[in-house]
A and B are shown apart, each in its own frame.
Chain A
Amino acid sequence: MSDLLLVVFDLVLLVGLLGVAWRCLASTDLFRAVVLFITFGLLLALAWVRLEAPDIALAEAAIGAGITGALLLVTLERLRSIVVERRRGQPDEPPDPAGADALLHALHDPPPPRRTFVPALTFALVVGGLMVTALWHQPDAVGLEPVVDEHMDVSGVDHPITAVLLNFRAYDTFLELAIVLIALLGAWSLGRYDRLPARPAPGPILPGTLRLLVPVAIVTGVYILWAGSHAPGGAFQAGAILGAAGILLVLARPRDLPMAPSSPLRLGLAAGVALFLAIGIVGLLIGPGLLGYPPAWAYPLIIVIEVAATLSIALTLVALFIAGRPAGDDR
């Protein structure tokens, strides 16, 4: 009976996910699409719990739905303010080359032209059909679970996912931190910090809530970071929670952001990658190989790397939200 209930739950969840994704991609109003996308992320977190992946569910709820949602919403506000500014800018000059419906285009997407319907549908059906066929005929394999299980005693931690992320496949995690840093450098290369389009919210509610929320977020973040060594949690989830707290702080005073001094900020942003690489090279010199640790030292080293990675990820997420180098930075 409970099996049947679970099957019903799976089917309802998956149909809901596909429906939300479809509505999101079919909507002409961008705000609506973004809200549906955030809903999609939250439903996805539920699916990850069902697939026995609580770590991923935590990350999806915090990063996939939360941070991505905030980034998308602030982008929509930026697009709106750009178009409004362009229209107001030159009243005497000939109209903008983009035309009078530029505002419409900035936040709406007209229904797609009919001529792309058949090719797009055919292509998607072929690719999807090939994937489904391949997945159905894939033989059951045990995967790498036994191998990981066998080596847990040398990993330095008790949680298999943290062991894979920071020890067995440290390469992936190191390169991932590098990608996060490169994405930020890319965003910074596009220009300097631009005033956020948000207006400060009037009244005492936002500052009061923040005073209560931010300490809770910091404690939760640090706890999740510490819990990562023996239970679901770890640097990414903790970084996302701390980053979300930072984004809330930014939103509370969008007009007069206290800019962090440049060199400590840069140091913090690069700390994760730099420390990871330094420890990795020391590992190469003293024996266990690049990005390898001596088993006796594994636990403290993993904790040090995770603390630095958390700091870097949180700072990077806030910096990506603000987008643009700190003002007056290039003097």
Chain B
Amino acid sequence: MEWLAQQLAPGLIYPTAGAILFALGLYGLIRRHHLVLRILALNIMGSGVFMVLLGIAARGEGPPDPVAQALTLTGIVVAVSATAFALALVVRLTRITGQAVMLPGPPDDHAPVDDISREEHAPSAEYDREHRE
């Protein structure tokens, strides 16, 4: 029993689970097509990396390594900003192509992409008037 508890110490099983999470996210990233699902898969991969970092930081006696924890904290904030930007790109792509998946090529070179988005999606005239001043 003692031996088993030692083998399953948090410093060992959490990094292992982190690696599995990373692989799982990678698998999802390759197989799924919808871009929001791909963003979720990337976030799960990132969480796996954080788990590896924090799991290794918690190894051994004594308090955990604060540098690894600070790096993870930085990573979480960077991940949320990147996710927000990626989601904004997905919304924009859907607005142009009507689908939230990666198309094999450019949608249509001759489509007046910019005009479509401006006309249809600029804030309405009333809105502009209300907020003019």
With a CB–CB cut-off of 8 A, which chain A residues contact B113? none
The tally of residues in A whose CB lies under 8 Å from a CB in B reads 114
Closest beta carbon of chain B to A306's beta carbon, Å: 13
Q: What is the bound-complex CA distance between A68 and B39, given in angstroms?
A: 11
Assuming the contacts A18-B21, A327-B123, asked whether A124 and B95 have C-beta atoms less than 8 A apart, the reply is no
Query: What 1/0 mask marks residues of chain B from 8 to 28 whose CB sits below 8 Å from any chain A CB?
Result: 101011111101111111111
Q: Which residue of B lies closest to A98 (CB)?
A: B98
Closest beta carbon of chain A to B110's beta carbon, Å: 12
| In the assembled complex, A112 has its CB within 8 A of some CB on chain B | yes
With a CB–CB cut-off of 8 A, which chain A residues contact B52? 131, 135
The tally of residues in B whose CB lies under 8 Å from a CB in A reads 91
CB distance A25 to B60 under 8 Å?
Answer: no
| In the assembled complex, A165 has its CB within 8 A of some CB on chain B | yes
With a CB–CB cut-off of 8 A, which chain B residues contact A6? 10
Q: A25 touches which one: B16, B22, B25, B88 (CB < 8 A)?
A: B25
Q: Which of A32-91 contact B (CB under 8 A)?
A: 33-34, 37, 40-41, 44, 47-48, 50-53, 55-56, 59-60, 63-64, 67-68, 71-72, 75-76, 78-79, 82-83, 85-86, 89
With a CB–CB cut-off of 8 A, which chain A residues contact B44? 21, 24-25, 37, 40
Query: What 1/0 mask marks residues of chain A from 255 to 271 whose CB sits below 8 Å from any chain B CB?
Result: 01001000000000000
Q: What is the bound-complex CA distance between A244 and B102, given in angstroms?
A: 31
Q: B23 touches which one: A55, A79, A131, A259 (CB < 8 A)?
A: A131
| In the assembled complex, A204 has its CB within 8 A of some CB on chain B | no
Query: What 1/0 mask marks residues of chain A from 223 to 241 whose CB sits below 8 Å from any chain B CB?
Result: 0000000000010100000
CB distance A10 to B120 under 8 Å?
Answer: no
Q: Which residue of B lies closest to A152 (CB)?
A: B66
Closest A-B pairs by Cβ, 6 of them: A128-B23, A98-B98, A25-B28, A143-B65, A183-B81, A109-B34
Known: A10-B13, A236-B76, A321-B84. 20 other contacts (CB 8 A): A18-B20, A21-B44, A24-B40, A25-B41, A37-B43, A37-B44, A50-B10, A51-B10, A53-B58, A56-B72, A60-B76, A64-B47, A71-B87, A72-B87, A98-B97, A102-B98, A108-B34, A145-B67, A179-B78, A187-B88
| 17 residue pairs from A and B, CB less than 8 Å apart | A21-B21, A21-B24, A25-B32, A44-B51, A59-B73, A63-B77, A72-B36, A75-B87, A98-B97, A128-B23, A138-B56, A143-B65, A160-B63, A176-B77, A183-B82, A186-B85, A190-B92
